[in-house]
Structure 1
Amino acid sequence: KMSFGTGHHATTFQMLRHQGQLDHQGKRVLDVGSGTGILAIMAHLLGASKVEAFDIDDWCVENGNENFDLNGLTTRMGLGTIRDVQPQGEFDIVLANINKNILLDEMALYADLVKKDGFLLLSGFYTQDIEDLTDHAKPLGLTLIAQQSKDNWAALILQKKA
């Protein structure tokens, strides 16, 4: 089964590449808008000790949970927005591959969930939107440490410094 997020789309591809640059071993990871669950599965495969994920689409949650089972994850994907799910505690890595408007709307929530020196990985927007996102991230204590683009789609790694 497939929904958005098989690893072929430029945003998913870039998020997976960014994940490969970060140490996930023993880390707590949150995947916001998980789709098929591919980023959560990658976090698990990279050694994350705890992976949480959710999506707003019933079908994605059902499909994602099947993919979790196939890949040995014991976690279950939740249903709802970040405001509905209200993840608890701090995370070493927060992943959000959604779209520019949702990322801008929810970025303060992501920043609150990222622990100090933790990472926020963002994608789902165009290269011309990078400045809007980084400008929004700075006052939240998030510093750009890496970016990439593919087919006019961009992805960022931000680190929480404050």
Structure 2
Amino acid sequence: MGRRHKTFFVLEIWSTQPLEEIISEMIFDLGGLGMEIGERSIRVFFEDPSTRDVAISTLVAFLRDLFGQEAIAYKVWELTDPGWELEWRKYFRPQWVGESLLILAPWHEYKPIPHVQTLIMDPGPAFGTGRHATTKMCLMALRDIRGLYPDPWSVLDVGTGSGILAIYAARLGACDVMALDVDEDALSWAKRNLALNGVGEKVILSCVPVEDLQRGFDTIVANISCDVILELMPQCIKRLKRGGMLILSGILESELGRLLKASPQGSLDLYSVSFQEEWACMCLKRS
């Protein structure tokens, strides 16, 4: 019997707008494997049916909000192709975050560069490969605040996804890192990425709710949606040590006002805000 070929799910998009740069920034964080640029359309490939539907609806809704309902047409179909599963790798390029952090996939060849840290991230179905603006801003925020906290530095990553923020915290020297996610598949993928970066013994992965934690942290980072942040903020503040930093992203610039209004006055001070594209990252320091 011949080898069984994998089935891929293809989202094909037609638009009058230039989509390549926008889509390339999003597809891997949404669990996509890669894309092909055609003469009149762009094809985005997915393998995992459990994440496919959410990813496709998220991507299409985002593009239609950006360009208008009539500017985007699409269809979804299946492809059985024994060779394409390796071809998509060429679209996953090394990603710089600032000038001192380089994110690579396991198959990338790399020669060490002085004063540059590297993270090895397998682009699976979990969110967070360093390509999305919110992930980049959280990574830079962790780097920027590192000097504020002497060892032992403790970090809580809420909604860890691929584990990238927890991994980087450990690589920056945090010796006490906990990464939470309600998605057990995401935790499995995060475990693989921890091992790829040699920090498997430094980071605790858990699906325990924030409210069940019985301890505090110097830094809490949450790269999730604005609505979830608003829901979890009181629990996060309770677990943030005095002088600790709360790093929040996954929020649109237009949503900053909602978060600032929800921040308890007198207990959190605005430390910094950064922007990339339409996204924002806010750092709040506990008084």
Report the TM-score when normalising by structure 2.
Answer: 0.53
Higher relative contact order at CA 8 Å, sep ≥6: structure 1 or structure 2? 1
For 1:21, the equivalent position in structure 2 comes to: 144
Flag the 1:137–1:160 CA change in 2: closer, same or farther, 3 A: same
Paired positions, count: 159
Deviation at 1:80, TM superposition (A): 4.7
Deviations 1:33-89 (A, max 9, x none): 000000000100111120000111111100001111122221331125424xx2221
Flag the 1:140–1:91 CA change in 2: closer, same or farther, 3 A: farther
For 1:38, the equivalent position in structure 2 comes to: 164
| Residues 250 and 281, structure 2, Cα contact 8 Å, conserved in 1 | yes
Once superposed, which parts of structure 1, at least 4 consecutive aligned residues long, lie more than 3 Å away? none
For 2:257, the equivalent position in structure 1 comes to: 131
For 1:78, the equivalent position in structure 2 comes to: 206
Query: Matched residues in 1 for 2:262 and 2:248: separation?
Result: 13
For 2:237, the equivalent position in structure 1 comes to: 111
Flag the 1:140–1:132 CA change in 2: closer, same or farther, 3 A: farther
- Match status 1:157 vs 2:283: yes
The amino acid that maps onto 1:76 is I
The amino acid that maps onto 1:66 is R
Aligned pairs for 1:136-147 (under 5 A) are: 136-139=262-265, 141-147=267-273
Runs of 5+ unmatched residues, structure 1:
none
| Residues 29 and 92, structure 1, Cα contact 8 Å, conserved in 2 | yes
Report the TM-score when normalising by structure 1.
Answer: 0.92
The amino acid that maps onto 1:114 is L
| Residues 111 and 140, structure 1, Cα contact 8 Å, conserved in 2 | no
For 2:24, the equivalent position in structure 1 comes to: none
Runs of 5+ unmatched residues, structure 2:
1-121
Query: Matched residues in 2 for 1:109 and 1:8: separation?
Result: 29
For 1:6, the equivalent position in structure 2 comes to: 129
- Match status 1:94 vs 2:217: no
The amino acid that maps onto 2:145 is L
